Amino acid sequence: MSTRPTTTYWIGFCVVQALLIAAPLALPEFWRRFLTEVLIWGLLAMSSDLLIGYTGMVSFGHSAFFGLGMYGAAAALLLVSPPNLWLAMGLGLIGAAAIALFVAYFSTRLRDIYFAITTLIFSQIFYVIIFTWTSVTGGENGLIFSRPPLSIPFLFSMRFTGTTLHWFVLAVVTASYLILRRVTQSPFGMVLQSIRENEARTRAIGYPVERYKIVAVMLSGLFAGLAGVLYAIQNQFAAPDFVYFLTSGDTVIFNVMGGIGTLVGPIVGAGAFQLLRELLSRLFGDQFPYLIPLGFVFILIIIFLPQGLLGFARRWLNR
Amino acid sequence: MDAVAQLFQSIPVDQILIQTINGIVTGMILALVASGLTLIFGIMEVVNFAHGELFMLGAYIGVLVLAGTGSFWIALVVASLMVALFGAALQIVTLRPLLGRDPLTTILATFGTSLILQNYALWQFGPVARKIQEPITSHFHLFYLEYPWYRLLIAVLSGAIIGAFWLFLKFGKFGIWIRATTQDRVMAQAMGIPVPWVHTATFAIGAGMAAASGVLFGPLVGVNHTMGLDWVLKAFIVVVVGGMGNLGGSILAAIFISLLEAYASIWVSPAQAIIVSFIALILTLLFRPTGLFVPTPK
Amino acid sequence: MSTTASLHSDPLVLVEDLHTHYGKSHILHGVSLKVGRGEVVGLLGRNGVGKSTTLKTIMGLVRPSAGTVELEGRSVTGLPAHKLARLGIGYVPEDRRIFRLLTVMENLRIGFDRHGVTEARKQALLEKVFAFFPVLAERRHQPGGTLSGGEQQMLAIARAMMLEPKIILLDEPTEGLMPRMVSQIRQIIASLHRDGVAILLVEQNVPLTLEASERVYIMEKGSVRHACAASELGVNDPVIRQYLGV
């Protein structure tokens, strides 16, 4: 991945940031929530892009990381009173990291296809555990809790409004983006990309490929968990549905649609997907199986636009 | 002596025997599904995420044909053939263009297909489960149960289909073509074997086998749009435990895992019994990642 | 069997200005050569100059980025390997690559299970191949992987013969074989030649190549640098030393 010309990039970045900051002030409630959720899914997709786009490992396990982040936050918000935002984030991240380590340990020694399948199976394991361990996780019904206030101990405490929550999510997602961008451009990130290009050669040169992969999975899992925490805070509930592997599937779809290996692409993909879905359900009614045309679009993109929508746009702009 | 007698009394022997039979029955169906999956992977290195949906499609077509003709057997044959043809078309349209690309793209393409098929089924047939009437409804006495003959029939039929397929692979011109292509795709081409068509035919066979399983299994559970999901998961576990691309291994693994789950369900709920297969998977990955039933490579 | 006759009539295989790439690497830089009907032609050169790639491209296993391959006057550039096999090109790769898990018989069957081959002809083909290679007859029901290196080489050649090819592309047949087997390969090439089968022989073994071939090409860095009759070159020829010397 070539580094974009710096000035144009930063200008573009600032413009987008400005738009996203202004958005909640201008948009009706529904679209404001929509945008916030797109940001959260975008974060999830970005975390997955670290694996798919940069390391070349397709993971279907992100639903587990997301879910653990969600439930971790839920645990903090339910067990500790008064509900503390930072504790929720901390616990969610720890939960996600622990699962990521577990999954990473088993899966990273495997070739790509085996890796994809085992991550899938692991995310299902967690689904089953969460679904059946009703006493702790609330089983099918999930957990409901209240939103914690934005508070810095001894300084201030403020309830979130829709708008301020949006800004908080935006801040977190932007920070995550910048961190991930830094990571992918660091020597560590270069090694990951070299693993994607030619794993055997990277290993032959002497890099401990397994260790790099494990770190990649853990980083990816951390940010996915973060997305889960944000989701829990935004919606104030945690449910096993999100741990079902289909969430991982959706994530992969966002990645492919937007363009893997670009970090921004997946966010675009998440947005495009949600937008299309909203449009289709408005045009054809709630019951319309929006996944059918979306599925076709997805397959067409895989075959004809392997660089995703972003790659397509880039090529089109370069003409 | 008392302790031993007590131990024996606590083991529910009759339940174990019942679950053994149940395990073998489910195992045979799982073997049929997994065989198709492992065949497709062995030959084309394609992980067919849509396999469960082909299973589901077969079941639905079975429902429709049964309603139309009243014959279970016609339904079975028609469903298998139609899905086999559909599978061939699917392979040509979505997988052939991806030949030579990163194998991960095929995972994504089949995943996309599974989403389309699932939602199509939901859209066409609604969320309520349909029923397939089994061809034989009689039972026999097994301990305190009225055990349906049909379940045994399933096991026998699945075994017959797998056996027929094995014979096809071993003898017969196309069987050799398939085996040669699995071993060395490049040299198979250099020897005049039309490898692209072997791929299409293999996918079709795998699809047909999945569809047959769907019809056979239909009477035991409701036919609905999510039935493929659970099976896909189990089938993947079976394929990994049995050794990817290893037909014999998948069959053994299918029965092994189904037995484990059946026994586990004596003590825990079926939803939790699946954890047993997960444990089997984890152990396999830890100690014998090439497959439990595969001789350790030299 | 004279070389001049083969050159003046239409060549069996004509390769013109072939270029191939592997990713960004440019492997073949405009290879041109021809093989006449029933001719034995040698292709010499150091390791890595593109000899195997040339064979693979003719066989349709590698797509050329430019250039043409003609078989009996017809362009076959870009056709997939399985079509070329049926059109009459046989391929015996480096390291043999027989189907290890299939029996000797099954390996052979693949070749003659073709359209329009009668049972009688299949039998005749089998007998001919077993006459060439009696040891294969003995081991006909054994899996290919249990054969020795030399036997596998024989199987690889026999398998190609079953296609009744007009030309066989032989890639380093003597590599890794004992000296006794090398002379056997020499005899096999001669028998095939007597049978009218053309051969394009890639070899590191210079004396064998010069002895068996009627003409030779010498390649370096992806293109043909020298072409002449085999009789014009001796083993210690300066040309040989230039392109193949250490």
Domain extent listing, chain A: 41-245
What DSSP character marks residue B91?
Answer: I
Q: How many CB pairs under 8 A join A and B?
A: 100
Instruction: Answer yes or no: do C82 and B176 touch at CB < 8 A.
Output: no
Contact present, C198 and C212 (Cβ < 8 Å): no
Residues 6+ apart with CB under 8 A from A197: A56
CA angle B200/B202/B208 to nearest 5° reads 105
Average pLDDT over residues A132-150: 75
Chain A: give the shortest CA distance to residue B36, in Å: 16
Question: CA-CA distance, A126 to A64, in Å (whole number)?
Answer: 6
Question: CA-CA distance, B168 to A38, in Å (whole number)?
Answer: 52
Whether chain B has a CB inside 8 Å of the CB on A281: the answer is no
- A271-280, B21-30, B127-136, B179-188: least confident range: B127-136
Percent of chain A with pLDDT over 70: 92
Average pLDDT over residues A178-190: 89
- Which value, to the nearest 10 degrees, does the dihedral of the CA atoms of residues A191, A194, A195, A196 take? 130
* C and A touching (3 or more beta-carbon pairs closer than 8 Å): no
Instruction: Answer yes or no: do B237 and A121 touch at CB < 8 A.
Output: yes
Percent of chain B with pLDDT over 90: 23
The interface residues of chain B toward chain A in range 153-192, judged by CB-CB distance below 8 A, are none
Mutant choice from B96, B191, B193 vs C, greatest count of C C-beta within 10 A: B191
Which of B79-93, B256-270, C97-111 has the highest mean predicted lDDT (pLDDT)? Answer: B79-93
Instruction: Answer yes or no: do C91 and B177 touch at CB < 8 A.
Output: no
Centre a 10 Å sphere on the Cβ of residue B208 and count the other Cβ atoms it contains: 26
Whether chain C has a CB inside 8 Å of the CB on B198: the answer is no
Of the candidates B177, B183, B189, the beta carbon closest to that of C100 is on B183
Instruction: Answer yes or no: do A106 and B122 touch at CB < 8 A.
Output: no
Instruction: Answer yes or no: do C82 and B183 touch at CB < 8 A.
Output: no
Contact present, A89 and A32 (Cβ < 8 Å): no
Q: What is the pLDDT of residue B83?
A: 95
In this predicted structure, the answer to whether residue B53 has a pLDDT above a threshold of 60 is yes
Contact present, B249 and B293 (Cβ < 8 Å): yes
Residues 6+ apart with CB under 8 A from B185: B195
Mean pLDDT, chain B, integer: 84
Instruction: Answer yes or no: do B187 and C109 touch at CB < 8 A.
Output: no
Q: pLDDT-derived band of residue A201, with 50, 70 and 90 as boundaries?
A: confident
The interface residues of chain A toward chain B in range 87-116, judged by CB-CB distance below 8 A, are 106-107, 109-110, 112-114, 116
Length of chain A as a residue count: 319
Q: What is the pLDDT of residue C80?
A: 92
In this predicted structure, the answer to whether residue C103 has a pLDDT above a threshold of 70 is yes
Whether chain C has a CB inside 8 Å of the CB on B298: the answer is no
Whether chain B has a CB inside 8 Å of the CB on A291: the answer is yes
Q: Which residue has the higher pLDDT, B202 or A59?
A: B202
pLDDT digits (tens, 9 = 90+) for C23-51: 788 889 999 999 999 999 999 988 888 89
Question: CA-CA distance, A117 to A124, in Å (whole number)?
Answer: 11
List, in sequence order, every residue forming a beta bridge with B2; answer none if it has no partner: none
Chain B: give the shortest CA distance to residue A48, in Å: 14
Average pLDDT over residues A35-56: 88
Residue C103: give its domain's CATH number: 3.40.50.300
Average pLDDT over residues A42-68: 87
List of chain B residues whose C-beta atoms are within 8 Å of the C-beta of residue A112: 103-104
Closest CA to A112 of A35, A52, A181, A42: A52
Whether chain C has a CB inside 8 Å of the CB on B185: the answer is no
Q: What is the pLDDT of residue B80?
A: 94
pLDDT digits (tens, 9 = 90+) for B62-76: 988 888 888 888 889
Average pLDDT over residues B34-48: 87
Q: Which residue has the higher pLDDT, B1 or A303?
A: A303
First to last CA, chain C: 34
Q: What is the pLDDT of residue C6?
A: 46
Q: pLDDT-derived band of residue A166, with 50, 70 and 90 as boundaries?
A: confident
What DSSP character marks residue B244?
Answer: T
Q: pLDDT-derived band of residue A316, with 50, 70 and 90 as boundaries?
A: low
Chain C: give the shortest CA distance to residue B36, in Å: 21
CA angle C22/C25/C28 to nearest 5° reads 80
Instruction: Answer yes or no: do C91 and B190 touch at CB < 8 A.
Output: yes
Instruction: Answer yes or no: do A109 and B115 touch at CB < 8 A.
Output: no
In this predicted structure, the answer to whether residue B14 has a pLDDT above a threshold of 90 is no
With 0-12 CB in 10 A as exposed, 13-18 as middle and 19+ as buried, what is B4? exposed
Tokens 């230039």 found at: C242
Instruction: Answer yes or no: do B189 and C99 touch at CB < 8 A.
Output: no
pLDDT digits (tens, 9 = 90+) for A266-277: 888 888 888 888
Question: CA-CA distance, A7 to A12, in Å (whole number)?
Answer: 8
Chain A: give the shortest CA distance to residue B115, in Å: 6
Tokens 């020499």 found at: C186
Whether chain A has a CB inside 8 Å of the CB on B286: the answer is yes
Q: pLDDT-derived band of residue A167, with 50, 70 and 90 as boundaries?
A: confident
Mutant choice from B90, B102, B104 vs A, greatest count of A C-beta within 10 A: B104
Whether chain A has a CB inside 8 Å of the CB on B68: the answer is no
Q: What ipTM was estimated for this complex?
A: 0.85
Mean pLDDT, chain A, integer: 81
CA angle B20/B26/B29 to nearest 5° reads 140
Of the candidates A107, A117, A298, the beta carbon closest to that of B112 is on A298
Q: pLDDT-derived band of residue C54, with 50, 70 and 90 as boundaries?
A: very high
Q: What is the pLDDT of residue B118?
A: 86
Contact present, A277 and A290 (Cβ < 8 Å): yes
Task: Copy the structure tokens of residue A90.
Answer: 């901390």
- C88: nearest CA partner in chain B: B192
pLDDT digits (tens, 9 = 90+) for C171-189: 999 888 888 888 888 889 9
Mutant choice from B91, B111, B257 vs A, greatest count of A C-beta within 10 A: B111
In this predicted structure, the answer to whether residue A282 has a pLDDT above a threshold of 90 is no
In this predicted structure, the answer to whether residue B77 has a pLDDT above a threshold of 60 is yes
List of chain B residues whose C-beta atoms are within 8 Å of the C-beta of residue A299: 94, 109, 112-113, 116
- A70-84, A103-117, B214-228, C211-225: least confident range: A103-117
Number of structural domains found in chain C? 1
pLDDT digits (tens, 9 = 90+) for C68-82: 999 998 899 989 999
Average pLDDT over residues A24-33: 80
CA angle B141/B143/B145 to nearest 5° reads 60
Average pLDDT over residues A286-302: 80
Element spanning C17, H or E: strand C13-22
pLDDT digits (tens, 9 = 90+) for B192-246: 899 999 999 999 999 999 999 999 888 888 888 888 887 888 888 888 888 877 8
Cis status, amide bond into A289, omega within 30 of 0: no
The interface residues of chain A toward chain B in range 111-130, judged by CB-CB distance below 8 A, are 112-114, 116-118, 120-121, 124-125, 128-129
Domain extent for C97: 3-244
List of chain C residues whose C-beta atoms are within 8 Å of the C-beta of residue B192: 82, 85-86, 110-111, 114, 163
Average pLDDT over residues B138-164: 83
Question: CA-CA distance, C171 to B236, in Å (whole number)?
Answer: 41
Q: In this structure, which amino acid lies at residue C30? A: G
User: Residues A83-88: contacts with CB within 8 Å, 24+ apart?
Assistant: A83/A145, A83/A146, A83/A147, A83/A148, A83/A149, A84/A148, A84/A151, A85/A148, A85/A149, A85/A150, A85/A151, A85/A233, A88/A148, A88/A229, A88/A232, A88/A233
The neighbours of chain B, by the rule of 3 or more Cβ pairs under 8 Å, are: A, C
Instruction: Answer yes or no: do B189 and C82 touch at CB < 8 A.
Output: yes
List of chain B residues whose C-beta atoms are within 8 Å of the C-beta of residue A253: 112
Q: What is the pLDDT of residue C236?
A: 78
Q: In this structure, which amino acid lies at residue B3? A: A
Q: pLDDT-derived band of residue C5, with 50, 70 and 90 as boundaries?
A: very low
Chain A: give the shortest CA distance to residue B4, in Å: 34
pLDDT digits (tens, 9 = 90+) for A111-140: 767 788 788 888 888 888 888 777 777 777
Q: How many CB pairs under 8 A join B and C?
A: 63
Percent of chain B with pLDDT over 70: 94
In this predicted structure, the answer to whether residue C1 has a pLDDT above a threshold of 50 is no
Question: CA-CA distance, B224 to A90, in Å (whole number)?
Answer: 41
